[in-house]
Structure 1
Amino acid sequence: MQFLRLGPMGQEIPVALWQGQYFDLRAVTADIDGAFWSAQGAERVAQALQRGELPQVHDAQALRVGAPVARPQALLCIGLNYAAHAAESGMPAPQQPVLFFKHPNTLAGPNDAVAVPRGATRIDWEVELAVVIGQRASYLPSVAAARAHIAGYCVANDLSERMFQLERSGSQWGKGKSLPGFCPLGPMLVTSDEISPDGLRIRSWVNGEPRQDSSTRDMIFNVDQIVHDLSQYLVLEPGDVILTGTPEGVAMSGRFPYLQAGDVVELEIEGLGRQRQQLM
């Protein structure tokens, strides 16, 4: 199943895309958030759809698309998780997953405009596979146990201001990662029973020109390894979002210019949809 949140910013409604039709989920849940996943929301939606209890959203394609997850408790990110990206960044491939955080309020809709932050000079794009946690995960006993704790997957853009990240963060990356609107997410969340995260094509473009073109098969640590590893150090809660790293082809490589006002970034992951943002 595919879940979306549609409508004006701050007024999004929860929607399911099922059999080519959009359905209003407000009879089942107020939003698609941690409480939804904690209460077996996907199963309850499936039952309501089968019973024909949910009304259609006939103007869905005319509505703004919001981030498909509301108010995550945590937005966790894995750095340098594609070998070629680590190499273009001038860093060795990590032996363990590298964890950093973005502020959860960086979430934005997949097609929302991105404001150039005050003082920014090196804005970079990073297409990433995002994992949404569906069940609490703590001290998982094995890598194989991780998949049962995943609700689904989305496209994310881990936008970065490299000067803030590398020169003003005191060896941490948060200042360059947590600017307003710096995590477009969506357009939809595809549940883990409908798609495998292994071997998905992952791409980005700037002003129509190709930048990144890789596969999640090239991850150093795959999705299950990441979820298992994080569960050994922190408690993953339903609705938490994990960004799993970006492939080569970003501006920090020196091969492409950094973003500036007017530029258009597009991102796509096979089976998960496409994003488009313009910098303003």
Structure 2
Amino acid sequence: MKFTTYLRNGAPRLALVDGQDLVDLNDAQPQVPSDLRAALKAGVDLQQAGRTALKDKPARQPLAKAKLAPLVPEPGKIICLGLNYFDHAKEGGRTEKPEYPWFFFRAASSLVAHGEAGWLPTVSSKFDYEAELAVVIGRTVPRHTKEADALQYVFGYSCFNDMSVRDYQKRTPQWTIGKNFDRTGGFGPALVTADELPAGAVGLRIQSRLNGQVMQDANTTDMIFSVAETIALLADVLTLEPGDVIVMGTPAGVGQARTPPVWMKAGDTIDIDIEKVGLLSNPIANEGA
């Protein structure tokens, strides 16, 4: 089953995706909160709610005409992994598996929806793309959860573009500042529930395409730390809650590693395509445009 978040009168609304249409889930099932994170925190069985809604022949609207919001507009936490594909770590100069993931956080203010412009910052031209798999947590993960039990807490998966301002990223030993410019975290367009994909979303082709040219082309099997292992490692430290998001790192082919480097510029379009998950597309515009 697929879900998305769209805007109605400027407010984000949770919707079920059915073919080429979307169904506002709160309109069809008023007991369901109109926000994805709120619905997950309330423990709503969204798949059952979706099935019931479809049986009642609800009102529909064309998905192609909807203005989307970031899939989870206000996540409690957005936890990202750096250097989590072997080939990307190698192009960054690291040849051995790290003992522990390179974690960093993103803020909700950095997110941007499918179809909306990612912003080329005024203060930098070193604006890079990163195709990534996003994990949405569906239930509270108990502390010290084991890897073997971790996937039961995943509600679903989506596409993410961890657009990065490289010179700012390198200004400090920690990457956070270069990863949190406004409208640089593409997120969407839809969430595919975990039962629709291989366990841990392994074996899926993942690509980025800049103006139609393939820049990254890999498989989620190549992740160094799997979804399950990542959840277990995080559970040793903190409580993962419904609506939290984990962004699983990018494969080789980023712009900064190319000779000469390839930076996104205003007028470009960057697509993130993950097999069975979806296609996330963002034009690039100057900040504030």
Question: CA separation of 1:152/1:202 partners in 2, compared to 1, >3 Å: closer, same or farther?
Answer: same
Match of 2:187 in 1: 185
Aligned with residue 219 of structure 1, among 218, 223, 248 = 223
CA RMSD, Structure 1 to Structure 2 (Å): 1.8
Query: In the alignment, is the contact (CA less than 8 A) between 1:33 and 1:72 conserved in 2?
Result: no
Farther-moved stretch of structure 1 (61-70 vs 124-133)? 61-70
- Aligned residue identity for 2:196: E
**1:71 corresponding residue in structure 2:** 74
Contact 2:119/2:184, CA 8 A, preserved across alignment: no
For the residue of structure 2 that corresponds to 1:115, the secondary structure is: strand
Match of 1:251 in 2: 255
User: 1:239 Cα shift?
Assistant: 0.2
1:175 aligns to what?
177
Shift of 1:214: 0.3
For residues 50 and 121 of structure 1, what CA distance do their matches in structure 2 show? Answer: 47
Residue 6 (structure 1) shift: 1.8
Structure 1 residues 24 and 87: alpha-carbon distance in aligned structure 2, compared to 1, 3 A threshold: same
CA pair 19-253 structure 1, distance change in 2 beyond 3 A = closer
Q: 1:99 to 1:9 in 2, by over 3 A?
A: farther
TM score, norm. by length of structure 2: 0.90
CA gap 1:9/1:177 in 2 versus in 1, 3 angstroms = farther
Deviations 1:90-140, CA, capped at 9 Å, x for gaps: 234322122111112212112211121121121110000000001111324
Q: Could you tell me which amino acid in structure 2 is paired with residue 18 of structure 1? A: D
Please give the alpha-carbon distance, in whole angstroms, between the structure 2 residues aligned to 1:86 and 1:25.
41
The correspondence for 1:269, drawn from 259, 267, 274, is 274
TM superposition score normalised by structure 1: 0.93
User: CA 1:204 to 1:95, structure 2 compared with 1: closer, same or farther past 3 Å?
Assistant: same
> Partners in 2 of 1:141 and 1:66 — Cα distance?
32
The alpha carbon displacement at 1:56 in A equals 2.5
Supply the distance in 2 between the matched residues of 1:263 and 1:22 (Cα, whole angstroms).
28
Equivalent residue, structure 2, for 1:18: 18
Aligned partner (choices 121, 124, 134) of residue 128 of structure 2: 124
Q: Residue type of the partner of 1:35? A: A
Number of equivalent positions: 277
Residue type at the aligned position of 1:69: V
Residue 33 of structure 1 and its aligned partner are, at CA, apart by: 3.1
Name which of structure 1's ranges 86-95 and 105-114 shifts more when overlaid on structure 2.
Answer: 86-95
Contact 1:125 1:158 in 2 (8 A): yes
Q: Which residue matches 1:29?
A: 32
- Match of 2:43? 40
C-alpha distance in 1 between matches for 2:124 and 2:77: 25
How far off is 1:225 after superposition? Answer: 0.7
Which residue identity does 2:183 align to in structure 1?
Answer: G
Is 1:3 matched up with 2:3? yes
Q: SS of 2:120's equivalent?
A: coil
Please list every run of 5 or more consecutive structure 1 residues that lacks an aligned counterpart in the other structure. none
Greater fraction strand: 2
Contact 1:80 1:246 in 2 (8 A): yes
CA gap 1:252/1:242 in 2 versus in 1, 3 angstroms:
same
**Relative to 1, partners in 2 of residues 1:118 and 1:8: Cα closer, same or farther, differing over 3 Å?**
farther
Alpha-carbon distance in structure 1 between the residues aligned to 2:105 and 2:9? 23
Conserved in 2, the CA contact under 8 Å of 1:31 and 1:70? no
Secondary structure at the residue paired with 2:195?
coil
